[in-house]
A and B are shown apart, each in its own frame.
Chain A
């Protein structure tokens, strides 16, 4: 996928709790129309990093959107839509209530209709949130997040609830919605999924950035021209070059 101009620029981002750095000195960028996957072992700080990027955690460093530094919460709110990991939509409501609320704040046009169709939302409208399956719940949550049409969508484990067949449809819908305007930064636990969908990958371990780039550059760094992302990931974390 050909990405456009630089949309998101993160420089030296760090989050400290007490004396412990949860995330330290992370820098990367995302271009318009690009999907950046954040991968790392459990406890690497992926969720903390994403929360810091969208302004839900106080962090050192800078976050810029289209070269403009974000300082106040309203700046972050105008820049980002955020889908939390294991966030629970209110079971007291119906899908229609949440979809209507999301659409009310969204720019009108064919884009929303296409996204609804791609994520098969209309079939769920009359249902209460409380009876949705995990995959249906995640589709509704994803729709409500992407419908906001913010320049950058930050998604924490957005695809873990989908089976491979559903994942293809969801990804197709997400890619189509991105078009050339939106960037997505998503933490992805399944490395194979990240390889399949990401334009660039940020590898995080123990709160620090291990590597950032497209698959080709990561392979070159790990020394394995045809290696899978999983092999590259393991190699870079263990600092052991791949066998050619």
Chain B
């Protein structure tokens, strides 16, 4: 392991990539803090406005956006290198013979690649700590959940890049393939906005970014957790096949396909699991506890039909708010979007049915055009003939924070100078090439 750690951590590229990543993260962090401070100024005088000041959404998530970018573009360079460089040096085969197993070599190199990529997390973690010292509020549990999401992203990027290195001959090929794999998810997500990528829209269920979204909101979704873990494991299995010997090209292809298919099967099964756990502060992503308990106890199936188009902002709002909270409380709720299967008429040609939300619960049916979560939950209980439970919930106070003056200067210096320079100096020290004996 020492050998692999040295290859991963004493390479200059590792530390340059970390320094660049820290600048990306730092820039996102400062922009987020400035915007949050600007919004907080007016919120300080209004309790109602203050409740909307959510540091997880306003500071943590934008900062981790920089980390996500770094993992997608720079992660493959760090992750592919341990295997690819061994192949370029013509020592991969001899190393496998010396260790006795190509799988063990692949496992050790994957571990080293993970440690190298984990260095990318240093900058955001330090910035969050600094933000807390500067007067901002960072809830540790929901921040850890957000970081867990990026950790899962890291596992997928590393798995894909190691697999790419196992199946290619050079570092350049491996890094290119690794970056292409990690950007595939972005291409799927971009399908909605770009006509040229619209053909990828059908692959929406395979977008890793969509699977990771709940983590950024402080939610731990079991299905995506298993889905991403299965993807990482499938990549590793693919890497073991690619890095093996004594197989013909055909048998390698068959074994690789089998590993992929097994992974896809597990991922498809995991994708249907909707159980989620709310680890946000004051459980603000959930409905009030009595409502959650009553929903879970409500007999019979609950089905909700939403007659809104995909690009209607009300649909996005109801999906991200009311429906998410209802599904969090009751994962077996069936949500259907009937208009997705139809050809989209123009706004003027829409029928009178457009905009309805129909709730089927127990033997009853209710409908509304409101996207309010309170309204929808009330209709569920009315339709099922159950009494509406107490809606009282400890209010999330919100944490407006104005970071200015010396505190802001400290954060700026830390983000743009302190952390990148510290990383570069550490890296240069570890990777320096001694020329004198």
Contacts and interface: CB of A to CB of B under 8 A. Distances in A.
B90 A92 contact: no
Given A55-B246, A88-B90, A105 B98 contact: yes
Contacts of B7: 90, 92-93
Contacts of A78: 100
Interface residues of B, number: 29
Contact of A55 (B90, B245, B435): B245
A148 B94 CA distance: 11
B241 to A, nearest CB: 13
A185 interface: no
Contacts of A77: 96-101
Contacts of A100: 2
Interface residues of A, number: 40
Determine which residue in A84, A92, A93, A98 has the highest number of CB atoms from chain B within 10 A of its CB, and name it. Answer: A92
B42 to A, nearest CB: 53
B406 to A, nearest CB: 41
B260 interface: no
B433 interface: yes
B93 A51 contact: yes
Interface in A111-169: 127-128, 130-131, 144-145, 148
B166 to A, nearest CB: 15
B341 interface: no
Contacts of A74: 100-101
Contact of B435 (A72, A105, A131): A131
B97 to A, nearest CB: 5
A84 B98 contact: no
A86 B437 CA distance: 24
Interface centre among B90, B100, B101, B246 (most CB of A within 10 A): B246
B431 interface: yes
B433 A130 contact: yes
Nearest to A51: B93
Contacts of A131: 433-435, 437
Nearest to A72: B246
B248 A89 contact: no
Contacts of A130: 433-434
A233 interface: no
Contacts of B100: 74, 77-78
16 contacts: A51-B93, A55-B97, A55-B246, A58-B245, A58-B247, A73-B101, A74-B100, A77-B97, A83-B94, A87-B89, A88-B89, A92-B7, A92-B10, A92-B431, A101-B3, A130-B434
Given A55-B97, A88-B91, A91-B433, 6 more contacts: A73-B244, A74-B101, A89-B89, A90-B6, A92-B11, A101-B2
Interface of B: 2-3, 6-7, 10-11, 85, 89-91, 93-94, 96-102, 244-248, 431, 433-435, 437
